[in-house]
Amino acid sequence: MTVVFDTNVYISALITEGVCAKILKRARLREFSLSICPFILNEIKQTLSKKFRISKKEISSAIEIIKEAVSNVVYPDMPVPEICEDKDDNHVIACALASGANYLVTGDAELLGIKRYKNIRILSPRDFELLFD
């Protein structure tokens, strides 16, 4: 099973000890294959820096945790689909397409409203965690 996490899932996993942290731990244990792209990695760094004012050293540590969890870094070379109002969400979908993901996990209401794009199921972190019960 190949999965892409939206930026908000990574941020929640790093900042809190909830379900997002639990599914990131599952990725680190290789219970599924987690893919990421440079766009999402950069968005994580920007969010941690600007929104949470985390130091560069702490951001580096956070990125190391993410890299431990990631099985595959993809570089989408296809046109970014124009299906979401938020252009950043379209980049996340492009990452999922490029990786051949079965699931896109997000807390974003617009993406969750789509439910499925091509062969990709779009789930909340909680619904994704339920797949393991």
Q: What local confidence, expressed as pLDDT, does residue 21 receive?
A: 97
CA distances from 81 to 86, 103, 118 (A): 11, 17, 11
Looking at the domain covering 2-130, what would its CATH class be? alpha beta
**Full pLDDT tens readout for the chain, 133 residues:** 999 999 999 999 999 999 999 999 999 999 999 999 999 999 999 999 999 998 999 999 999 999 999 999 999 987 777 888 888 889 999 999 999 999 999 999 999 999 999 999 999 999 999 999 7
